Amino acid sequence: MTTKASITKKRSRIRVAAKTEGNGKKNEALQIENLPIAKVIPDPMQPRKTFNEMLLQQLSESIKEHGVLQPITVRKSGKEYVIVMGERRYRASKLAGKTTIPCIVRTYENNDVLEVQIIENLQRQDVEPTEEADAIAYLSEKYAPIEIAKRLGRTDNFIRQRLKLAGLIDGFKHFVRNGEMTISLGVGVALFTPEEQQMMLETMGETFNAHQINRMINDQTYDLEKASFDVADKTLVPKAGSCVECPFNAANQGNLFGEGKMVCTKSACFETKKSKSFLNLIEKTKKENILLIPEIRRYWADEESNQLIISQLEKNGFKVYLLDDVEIIENPIEPTIEAIKIEYQHYDYSEDELKAELDEAMQDYEQALITYNSVKDNGFVNGIVFHPETYQHKSAFVKVIEKSKNDSTEYSAPLANRKMADCTPEEQIIKINEREIRKKHIENNKQFEEVVEMIRETDYINIKKTLSVDEMVAFSISLFENNVDYISQQKYFSGLLGDTSKMTRIDGVENFKKNFKKEIFHKLIRYMLTKQVHFGESNHNNNLTNISFYNAMQVYYKSKIAKIEKVYSEKRDKREARLKERIAVLEKKIQELKE
């Protein structure tokens, strides 16, 4: 009978057949040796830094029972052997109390060692994303992304995203490693320079806030599909060239924002092009004698940004007309059933109801078309209407609204911009009252900030009392305002706050509290549970949030979940059966070598 000890001795004498590497050269014949584990040491340059303690313990138990089934690879260094591949098996063997470990001793050049370690580590399933990103960045110094993708069996886009993630500063990498920051959000932050990232980190403060970071990214990136200029134009700003080919276009860095999504990540260049396109628009309208209308209502004319637009138009010799001063007619768009379905996608409409909506929309279109075709007979002239912030513009027919002699159509400086001495007594009273309202607003801001800071310094968070109704109301409204998007507000919570059109905000909160039920609180929590799960690298086996959500849903949807699990289980069983067959063939070959 063959004993375990005899198998070990026999295995130590096995010589492995030579293999051919990618460069066409053959490796030396390799021998498995049982080396004293005390003489084997980890490589301090090993790119892998993190090991899952629970999985390490499981492997240790397996090694206690079955031994190390696959030898580790080492290289000689003085009197010791440095691990090239297999540090996890080495650590688990030490935990299992082993005194020897099966090794293959190889000779490497220093750079080859690191490359082998990187590729071996990247082919694992549990690799930490930021370590993976740094490792791929190292390989990119020698190989193109498409070559790295082939070597690792990954997509080209995956490699490009990881290369971008490698540019994340350490302060943000920490949040990715501990699971607070998703990989996609990390990639979004990594679009910016290290200096800009540091500013974002300092602005956020010590506590990670995904919503705040998302807002910062949105404020500093621009959707090129909504640009006011032709993104393919190479002559708008010659030094910058076309946005389509620009390296700062996210579409050229992998699908960071979705398949083919063009997003500008260089704000200064985008703003330059936007401003240049606006100047070109001004020249075009002056040359062709076209009315240029900013989308500004008189009510908002005193805002600083709108004042700048109005001033710029006046400096260029335009007589400024605002939306209140003109009538605008655009070329009507013929409705389609597809457009109607999109417009009413959140309503439970039947096909007949959708058809009725289309018929009504078609009647409106036909009437609008008659009006549009007769605009020039009714005093309308060519015009261009533009947005004062984005400069997006569209052609339209425009007609200045006739007013009485006492009601000038020309723009006059808003009351807020005039000195007190230049105002009538009535206007002075208005200005005084407006200033008082502003002062009260500023004081309220300071008062609120002081109260919040005071509470944060107390032991409020550690209070052991059950949440009060006011606290549950506050948390419910906070969830609703900050985490529920508009569509979901209409779909799931349309009656949450009631009719607030005739209420102050304070009255609105009181009304909500008056009608508050714990069921509302529970509904909001359940909504958040469905939104806070993580996709991508995280699943229901390796992420605390996902595991807890998966378990909680078993109470309500156990049979439906079981059906999905069954499909995946059957796939796994088939795959494992094929692997078992392959392994059996290999084991047979090993046995033949022993004999």
List, as one string, the DSSP characters of 248-315. Answer: TBTTBTBSSSSTT--EE--HHHHHHHHHHHHHHHHHHHHHHT-EEEES--GGGTTSHHHHHHHHHHHH
| Average pLDDT of span 569-588 | 85
Q: What share of the chain in percent tops pLDDT 90?
A: 10
Look over the chain and give the mean of its residue pLDDT values, rounded to a whole number. 79
Residue 36, pLDDT > 90, answer yes
Beta pairing partners, 264: 222, 249
| Average pLDDT of span 541-549 | 83
- Extract long-range pairs of 353-360: CB within 8 Å, 24+ residues apart: none
Instruction: Tell me how far CA of residue 545 lies from CA of 341, 479, 515, in angstroms.
Output: 36, 18, 31
Closest CA to 159 of 182, 179, 178, 143: 143
Instruction: Tell me how far CA of residue 18 lies from CA of 28, 112, 113, 389, 595, in angstroms.
Output: 6, 19, 19, 68, 19
Q: What are phi and psi of 497, to 5 degrees?
A: -95, -5
Q: pTM for the full model?
A: 0.45
State the CB neighbour count (10 A cutoff) for residue 150. 13
Q: Which pLDDT band, with edges at 50, 70 and 90, does 124 fall under?
A: low
Q: Which residue bears the tokens 């305002």?
A: 481
Q: Please state, in angstroms and rounded to a whole number, the distance separating the CA atoms of residues 187 and 164.
A: 6
Residue 101, pLDDT > 90, answer yes
Which contiguous run of DSSP H or E holds residue 512? helix 505-514
Pairing of strands 291-294, 222-223: unpaired
| Average pLDDT of span 240-255 | 80
Q: Which pLDDT band, with edges at 50, 70 and 90, does 385 fall under?
A: very high
Q: Which residue has the higher pLDDT, 467 or 118?
A: 467
For residues 103 and 30, is the Cβ–Cβ distance under 8 A?
no
DSSP secondary structure code for residue 174 in this structure: H
Q: Which residue bears the tokens 């379905």?
A: 341
Dihedral through CA 196, CA 202, CA 204, CA 206, nearest 10?
140
| Average pLDDT of span 261-282 | 88
- pLDDT for res 419: 61
- pLDDT for res 220: 79
Q: Which residue has the higher pLDDT, 227 or 20?
A: 227
Q: Please state, in angstroms and rounded to a whole number, the distance separating the CA atoms of residues 398 and 375.
A: 9
Q: Which pLDDT band, with edges at 50, 70 and 90, does 255 fall under?
A: low
Q: Please state, in angstroms and rounded to a whole number, the distance separating the CA atoms of residues 555 and 509.
A: 34
In sequence order, which residues have a C-beta less than 8 Å from that of residue 489 and are 6 or more positions away? 480, 496
In sequence order, which residues have a C-beta less than 8 Å from that of residue 560 and are 6 or more positions away? none
Among the listed ranges 186-190, 359-363, 532-536, which one has the minimum average pLDDT value? 532-536
Residue 87, pLDDT > 50, answer yes
Q: Which pLDDT band, with edges at 50, 70 and 90, does 444 fall under?
A: confident
Q: Please state, in angstroms and rounded to a whole number, the distance separating the CA atoms of residues 171 and 158.
A: 23
Q: Give per-residue pLDDT as tens, 411-437.
A: 344 566 556 665 677 777 887 777 677
DSSP secondary structure code for residue 466 in this structure: P
Q: Please state, in angstroms and rounded to a whole number, the distance separating the CA atoms of residues 349 and 360.
A: 15
Tokens of 458: 């107390």
Q: What are phi and psi of 15, to 5 degrees?
A: -110, 130
Q: Which pLDDT band, with edges at 50, 70 and 90, does 15 fall under?
A: very low
Q: Please state, in angstroms and rounded to a whole number, the distance separating the CA atoms of residues 1 and 5.
A: 11
In sequence order, which residues have a C-beta less than 8 Å from that of residue 53 and are 6 or more positions away? none
Q: Which pLDDT band, with edges at 50, 70 and 90, does 453 fall under?
A: confident
In sequence order, which residues have a C-beta less than 8 Å from that of residue 314 and are 6 or more positions away? 320, 411
Residue 575, pLDDT > 60, answer yes
Q: Which pLDDT band, with edges at 50, 70 and 90, does 451 fall under?
A: confident
Q: What share of the chain in percent tops pLDDT 70?
A: 84
For residues 329 and 355, is the Cβ–Cβ distance under 8 A?
no
For residues 188 and 256, is the Cβ–Cβ distance under 8 A?
yes
| Average pLDDT of span 193-199 | 84
Q: Which pLDDT band, with edges at 50, 70 and 90, does 28 fall under?
A: very low
Residue 160, pLDDT > 90, answer no
- pLDDT for res 37: 93
- pLDDT for res 21: 36
| Average pLDDT of span 494-509 | 77
Beta pairing partners, 327: 399
- pLDDT for res 113: 57
State the CB neighbour count (10 A cutoff) for residue 496. 16
Residue 450, pLDDT > 60, answer yes
- pLDDT for res 384: 93
- pLDDT for res 121: 62
- pLDDT for res 97: 92
| Average pLDDT of span 219-243 | 87
Q: Please state, in angstroms and rounded to a whole number, the distance separating the CA atoms of residues 180 and 189.
A: 14
Residue 10, pLDDT > 60, answer no
- pLDDT for res 110: 55
| Average pLDDT of span 362-372 | 88
State the CB neighbour count (10 A cutoff) for residue 260. 7
Among the listed ranges 35-44, 292-301, 432-441, 523-532, which one has the minimum average pLDDT value? 432-441
